[in-house]
Structure 1
Amino acid sequence: MKKLLLLTLVLFPIILSAQEKLQIGVAGLTHGHVGWVLDAHRKGTIEIIGISESNTDLANQLLSDFNISNDLLYPSLKEMLAEINPEAITAFGDTYSHLEVVQQAAPKGIHVMVEKPLAVSMEHALEMEKLAKEHKILLLTNYETSWYPSNHKAKELYESDQIGEIRKVIVRDGHRGPKKIGVNGEFLEWLTDPKLNGGGSLTDFGCYGANLMVWLTNGEKPLAVTAITQQLQPENNPKVEDEATIIVQYPNSQLIIQASWNWPIGRKDMEIYGLTGAIFSDNRNQLRVRMAEGYDGFDETIYDLPELNNPYRDPFLFLTAAVKGEIGIPEFDVYSLENNMMVMEILDAAKESAQTHQTIFLEEK
């Protein structure tokens, strides 16, 4: 039996006054998602007061595309912060540079939001965490799936004991590969570099599953991590893996992360299996719940979900509300530093496991 719950999607224009807008600096323009923050400025969600980027050709093209003045452009983050004092910095360069952004911003009391993952390694992450805590700044990590209504509904249903205790979670993320989907050259150059990105598909898409599981379990410590990786497109990704499967063992459950640059169709989905039913977060707005009936039967409810309420539907509204103290960030929330430190621990263990062909047991802190 199927039940369809259709919830109307209503979008409201977001217009903030000059006093409400968060003044930000943008560190780097080589990330393929940088259009989000530039468009947020154009729409009036935030106010960009400075941009650092050494690639002048790229910067000029992007600033022209989004009708942003070249007067805001600086050749380096250091030079930018010598001239302006933003409330926050959003990092849209390579992942390796996240550490430098925090090193320069934290002592000045400037909050930082980076694109996922937090860092290229646990070593970088630990230094970033130390600086953030020492200087009392927010250090947030933005994931596209953080503002998926389906994931929030899934957590709500699980926490209301809809399907019983979790036994297995499967998260699948990825696409055909950076080159095949046509990312720009500047993004492709560092995304397929093991130093600048920390790896290939394992870090690029493996972080999503780890982030969601830490959130779902409110920071439960994993016992062990086992991973295998392959390079199935050596012609496109000669330096890094493009296929990764990560198994994360918990005391009473298991997380399986399938991170791939080889999916024929792009995907970001999650399956949560409990003792009495299962939740399928199929995409951003669609979710299914199947309650077990007999051996292989089930009663299915389908949800068509609206966008989340502000500020949770947009990373820059979220950043604004967090910096201005309008919302709190619970421990192990998807954006939180605690969550993403554990994500880095899982990713580092996965990389070690893939290299050594052994299961990596995580020590209790």
Structure 2
Amino acid sequence: MKKHILTSMILLLVIPIQMNCQSNKQPLKLAIIGLTHTHVHWILGRENTGDVEIVGIVEPNRELAERYSKQHGFSMDLVYESMEELVNNSEPEAVAAFGTIYEHLEVVEFFAPKGIHVMVEKPLAVSLEHARAMEELAKKHDIHLLTNYETTWYPSNHKAREMLEEGRIGEMRKVIVRDGHKGPRKLGIDEEFLDWLLDPEQNGAGALMDFGCYGANLMTWLQNGKRPLSVTAVTQQLQKDNNPMVDDEAIIILTYENSNCVIQASWNWPIGRKDMEIYGLEAAIYADNRNDLRLRIAEGYDGFEQEEFNLEERPYPYNDPFSYFAALVHKEIEVLPFSLSSLENNMIVMEILQAAMQSARSGKTIPLK
């Protein structure tokens, strides 16, 4: 087996130049709705690049807000009890929701009629019913409604798609996406997050919803918006004491006309992971993590030639959800159809997740009409 190590030096000088240019523009006036989703540390602990200004935070839990205020240094003067109090005292252009998945609909119901753009943490909604109501509001009031996934910003995933489109592996036949960790309780996640993450009403499901959405999102993107023909899912509860009301293990199979996808969403991995494998007729791509990728070109029966890539971060503003959101609201970029953050993609994700839950309950494969 031959082995070549390639290091990609992508746009090293471009990112800082663009960041400096951004400082001459007006920042996006962004409000944070909820602090119970610990992904909120992403924005609270984010380096100030001058493209986003937090103009308000809605969080009724005063103790939680004060704890995060001390941790991240924001003023408690920014914190409001309700969305009504927020808009009466500030003028956000956009909001980022960091509460329960169930609350996403309420956020869109309140802000969409005001023409205020919304970004939610994955998945888009707690159910397909909620998602359809959110979609209708977003279109009616002409706002951006984005869904943020950590994996959207992975250079490895974008390089994998680029290789696929270049024909480096031949026609795609199989995709395997694995996401998850050892489980919320084992990780010592804050109680405010656990209170709803382990609640089927507030989160929709357990690992199936929490991590199954990543694979559905990526596969819809790789398929350029094509919906699967059918969805089959099996769920288990392997940590009943830790997760008494929800699944902690889900395997979801998506079938397409000429390919399939296996999504392994789990709160039972010993080591946290977010990786993807793409198999074509001639080669395979392994996106091992955010920056590392391998290309294996088949030789004979089980031989292969391997190239390894260690990738630099993506260019601004495509390297960060808040930079992307700011550029989008300020009309510097556009959302591409069925791209990872897009509403079109994430409506299909919700169809897949709902079908997966139905399949797991019924023990049957669910065709998507």
Aligned to 2:289: 283
What SS class does the counterpart of residue 306 from structure 2 fall into?
strand
In structure 2, the partner of 1:319 is 325
Question: d(CA) in 2 for partners of 1:20 and 1:84?
Answer: 16
Which residue number in structure 1 is paired with residue 196 of structure 2?
190
* 2:261 counterpart residue number: 255
Equivalent residue, structure 1, for 2:277: 271
Secondary structure of the 1:50 match is: strand
Q: 2: distance between equivalents of 1:31 and 1:18?
A: 32
Q: Which residue of 1 aligns with 2:54?
A: 48
Local SS of the residue matching 2:277: strand
Q: 1:8 Cα deviation (Å)?
A: 4.1
How many Å apart are 1:42 and its aligned residue? 5.2
Measured after TM superposition, the shift of residue 81 of structure 1 is: 2.0
In structure 2, relative to structure 1, the CA distance for the partners of 1:44 and 1:62 (3 Å cut) is farther
2:133 is aligned to 127
Deviation at 1:85, TM superposition (A): 2.1
Contact 2:23-2:49 at 8 Å conserved across structures: no
Q: Is residue 9 of structure 2 the alignment partner of residue 5 of structure 1?
A: no
Contact 1:201 1:260 in 2 (8 A): yes
Q: Separation in 2 of the partners of 1:20 and 1:298?
A: 51
Residue 216 (1) aligns with residue 202 (2)? no
Q: Check the 8 A contact 1:26/1:90 in 2, yes or no.
A: yes
| 1:355 and 2:356 aligned | no
Does 2:117 correspond to 1:116?
Answer: no
1:280-331 CA-to-partner distances (Å, cap 9, x unmatched) read: 0000000001111111111111111100000011111000111111111111
Does residue 334 (structure 1) correspond to residue 340 (structure 2)? The answer is: yes
Going from structure 1 to structure 2, the CA distance change for 1:270 and 1:217 (only over 3 Å counts) comes to: same
CA shift digits 1:177-210 (9 cap, x unpaired): 0110111110111111101111100000000000
Please report the TM-score for the alignment, with normalisation by the length of structure 1: 0.97
Q: Is the 8 A contact 2:251 2:263 kept in 1?
A: yes
State how far apart, in whole Å, the 2-side matches of 1:135 and 1:94 are. Answer: 23
Deviations 1:14-40 (A, max 9, x none): 464374311011100001111111123
User: What percent identity do the matched residue pairs reach?
Assistant: 58
Structure 2: which amino acid aligns with 1:3?
H
Between the aligned partners of 1:6 and 1:180, the Cα distance in structure 2 is 36
Which residue identity does 1:141 align to in structure 2?
T
Deviations 1:214-241 (A, max 9, x none): 0011011210000000000011111100
Determine the C-alpha separation between the residues in 2 that align with 1:219 and 1:43: 33
Instruction: Tell me the secondary structure at the aligned position of residue 324 of structure 2.
Output: helix
**Deviation digits for residues 324-362 of structure 1, max 9, x if unmatched?**
111111110000000000000000000000001110000
Q: Do the aligned partners of residues 98 and 41 (structure 1) sit closer, same or farther apart at CA in structure 2, a change above 3 Å counting? A: farther
Number of matched pairs: 363
* The one of 72, 75, 82 aligned to 2:88: 82
Query: Is 1:309 aligned to 2:315, yes or no?
Result: yes
Paired with 2:83 and 2:361, the residues of 1 have a C-alpha distance of 35
- TM-score for both structures, normalised by structure 2: 0.96
Amino acid across the alignment from 1:123: E
Q: How far did residue 12 of structure 1 move? A: 3.7
Paired residues of 1:286 and 1:305 also in contact (CA < 8 A): yes
- Does the CA-based 8 Å contact 2:23-2:51 persist in structure 1? no
Q: Structure 2: any 5+ residue segments left out of the alignment?
A: none
Q: 1:170 aligns with which of 157, 176, 201?
A: 176
Tell me, yes or no, if the aligned pair for 2:59 and 2:82 is still in contact at 8 Å: yes
Give deviations 1:32-58, integer Å, cap 9, x for gaps: 111111123756441011110111100
Paired AA for residue 7 in structure 1: S
Distance 1:159 1:43 in 2: 33
1:72-93 deviation per Cα after TM superposition (whole angstroms, max 9, x unaligned): 1111112212332211000011
- Aligned CA RMSD, in angstroms, stands at 1.4
